[in-house]
């Protein structure tokens, strides 16, 4: 953001607007707060000094910029830093796979990993989930707008279950209590998994966002996530948490899933992990490590600039406990919104305020 302008505007660009090229053109004399931050890919904002310095230092070092799979100093430093973020037990049993730098490709890798490891095919995904636009990740996406243009029916073996949306119950408008919705969502999945007549073969994996991002900022209830973890363990189904958008200090905890005190078998990471440069990877339990070396190859998986930037930005966020700042800012936004809605008499026009910043955050 350039300085010296006169007017400040809060720019909340929804991705729908971005995709349709209706992006408001900045007017001379205006200054914008970009709260979207490239859909979460710029954890410290545009052109932060830490990012700038990391890039300049690396370029000045004259070391190679792309290194495929080579073990380099930059990669080692990045992995060491990333591991400080990975909670137990994954931190002791985890393996890492770098993927092509999009979140979609990291999701592809996660789905491929669990399919190879289990020898099964079906993936369970949830209504409203967003996992990307490659064929496999799109197959797991709740939104049907892009899929329906393909006219090919099912893109891959994915079965959808209802997600516990607090104010849009998948069980219809008569269910208004979000606890009842969450209970019904969990019970339905539990019943289906246990029922040999359900028509669904044993799944290879369950993929979920602990806070749906593109689906409308919808946090999954803590108890529902705990039950999902229990079900996955009982049925021996790898649980994949897609932290592409919610990961890295954005929601009050380092990863969004930490709110529920559960750990997945696979974490999918992109966006913020590269500290604003393109980078993506998955971290997964070693028991799933059954694929052959080279099973998820790709040219741009050794971007050294992204590795050094990611390492420095992640270290900064961890040292400053930036997730606490995110929680404070979230609470501030919420309280101001509520206050202004009352002040201007527009409360009845606000359908809901969602996020993970309610008073129970630190319980
Ligand atoms: C949760 C989630 N998963 C996957 C993706 C796909 O990432 P990309 O757009 O980098 O392919 C996104 C993108 O917004 C996302 O929010």
Confidence of residue 130 (pLDDT cuts 50, 70, 90): very high
Q: How far is CA 198 from CA 5, 202, 231, in A?
A: 61, 10, 16
Cα torsion through 285, 286, 289, 293, rounded to 10: 120
CA of 280 to the centre of ligand 1 (A): 10
Q: Is residue 196 part of a domain?
A: yes
User: Coil, strand or helix: which one is 124?
Assistant: strand
Q: Report pLDDT for 11.
A: 37
pLDDT band at 348 (very low <50, low <70, confident <90, very high): confident
274 C-beta closer than 6 A to ligand 1: no
Instruction: Establish if 277 belongs to a structural domain.
Output: yes
Which of the pair, 33 or 332, is modelled with greater confidence? 332
Short-list 322, 324, 321, 355, CA closest to 338:
355
Q: What is the CATH number of the domain that holds 118?
A: 3.40.640.10
- 111, with CB counted inside 10 A (0-12, 13-18, 19+), is buried
Is residue 220 in some structural domain?
yes
Q: Which two tokens stand for residue 227?
A: 């039950």
* CA of residue 59 to ligand 1 center, whole Å: 28
Q: Predicted confidence band at 358 (pLDDT cuts at 50, 70, 90)? A: low
Quick: pLDDT tens for 79-114: 999 999 999 999 999 999 999 999 999 999 999 999
pLDDT classification of 19: cutoffs 50, 70, 90? very low
Establish whether residue 264 lines the binding site of ligand 1, counting it when its CB lies within 6 angstroms of any ligand atom. Answer: no
Q: What is the pLDDT of residues 28-75, one digit of tens each?
A: 788 878 888 999 999 999 999 999 999 999 999 999 999 999 999 999
Higher-confidence residue of 147 and 233: namely 233
Confidence of residue 18 (pLDDT cuts 50, 70, 90): very low
What pLDDT band is residue 362 in, cutting at 50, 70 and 90? very low
* C-beta of 39 in contact with ligand 1 (< 6 A): yes
Cα gap 249→268, rounded to integer Å: 15
The pLDDT value recorded for residue 107 is 98
| Ligand 1 centroid – CA 60 distance (Å) | 32
Q: Which of 245, 266, 277 to mutate to test the pocket of ligand 1 (most atoms within 8 A of CB)?
A: 245
Higher pLDDT, 173 or 20: 173
C-alpha 355/C-alpha 342 separation (Å) is 20
Residue 268 lies in a domain: yes
Q: Residue 157: pLDDT above 60? A: yes
pLDDT of residue 21: 43
359 pLDDT above the threshold of 70: no
Q: Contact 108/207 with Cβ under 8 angstroms? A: no
Is the pLDDT at 283 greater than 80? The verdict is yes
Asked if the model's pLDDT at residue 291 lies above 90, the reply is yes
**What secondary structure does DSSP assign to 209-270, as a single string?**
-SEESTTTSEEPPHHHHHHHHHHHHHTT--EEEE-TTTTTTSSSSSSGGGGGT---SEEEE-
Residue 10 pLDDT: 40
Q: Indicate whether 7 pLDDT > 50.
A: no
Q: How many domains does the chain have?
A: 1
- Confidence (pTM): 0.91
- pLDDT averaged over the chain? 90
pLDDT, mean of residues 255-265: 97
Percent of the chain's residues with pLDDT above 70: 90
pLDDT at 16 over 90: no
If one residue of 19, 100, 104 were mutated to test the ligand 1 pocket, choosing by the most ligand atoms within 8 A of its CB, it would be 104
Ligand 1 atom with the shortest distance to the CA of 212: 1
Task: With respect to residue 29, please indicate whether it lies within any of the assigned structural domains.
Answer: no
Phi then psi dihedrals of residue 46, to 5 deg: -75, 135
- Is residue 117 in some structural domain? yes
Whether the per-residue pLDDT at 180 is higher than 60: the answer is: yes
Is 23 within the bounds of a domain? no
More confident residue, 156 or 188: 188
pLDDT computed for residue 337 by the predictor: 87
Question: 4 falls in which pLDDT band (50, 70, 90)?
Answer: very low
Locus of tokens 């969990």: 186
Whether residue 332 lies inside any domain: the answer is no
- Pocket of ligand 1 contains residue 130 by CB under 6 Å: yes
Residue with tokens 């310095």: 53
Closest ligand 1 atom number to CA of residue 105: 11
Domain extent at residue 61:
57-319
Distance (Å) from CA 355 to ligand 1 centroid = 19
Q: What is the CA radius of gyration of the chain?
A: 21
């Amino acid at each position: 953001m350039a300085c010296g302008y006169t007017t400040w505007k809060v720019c909340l660009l929804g991705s729908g607007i971005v995709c349709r090229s209706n992006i408001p053109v900045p007017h001379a004399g205006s200054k914008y707060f970009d709260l979207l931050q490239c859909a979460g890919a710029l954890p410290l904002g545009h052109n932060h000094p830490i990012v700038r310095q990391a890039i300049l230092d690396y370029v000045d070092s004259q070391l190679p910029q792309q290194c495929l799979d080579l073990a380099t100093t930059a990669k080692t430093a990045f992995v060491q830093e990333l591991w400080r973020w990975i909670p137990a037990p994954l931190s002791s049993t985890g393996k890492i796979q770098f993927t092509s730098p999009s979140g979609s490709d990291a999701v592809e890798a996660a789905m491929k990993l669990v399919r190879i490891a289990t020898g099964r095919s079906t993936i369970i995904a949830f209504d409203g989930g967003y996992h990307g636009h490659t064929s496999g990740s799109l197959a797991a996406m709740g939104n049907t707008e892009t899929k329906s243009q393909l006219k090919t029916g099912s893109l891959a073996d994915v079965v959808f279950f209802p997600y516990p949306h607090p104010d849009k119950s998948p069980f219809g408008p008569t269910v208004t209590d979000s606890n009842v919705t969450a209970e019904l969502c969990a019970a339905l999945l539990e019943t289906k998994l246990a029922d040999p007549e359900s028509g669904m073969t044993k799944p290879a994996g369950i993929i979920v966002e602990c806070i749906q991002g593109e689906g409308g900022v919808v946090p999954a209830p803590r108890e529902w996530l705990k039950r999902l973890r229990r079900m996955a363990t009982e049925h021996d189904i790898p649980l994949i948490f897609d932290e592409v958008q919610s990961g890295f200090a954005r929601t009050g905890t380092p990863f969004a899933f930490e709110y529920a005190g559960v750990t997945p078998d696979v974490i999918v990471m992109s966006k913020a992990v590269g500290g604003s440069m393109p980078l993506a990877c998955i971290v997964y339990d070693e028991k799933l490590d059954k694929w052959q070396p080279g099973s998820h190859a790709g040219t741009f998986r050794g971007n050294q600039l992204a590795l050094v930037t990611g390492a420095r930005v992640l270290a900064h966020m961890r040292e400053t406990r930036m997730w606490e700042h995110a929680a404070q800012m979230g609470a501030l936004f919420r309280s101001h919104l509520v206050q202004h809605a009352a002040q201007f008499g527009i409360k009845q026009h606000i359908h809901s305020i969602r996020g993970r910043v309610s008073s129970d955050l630190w319980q």
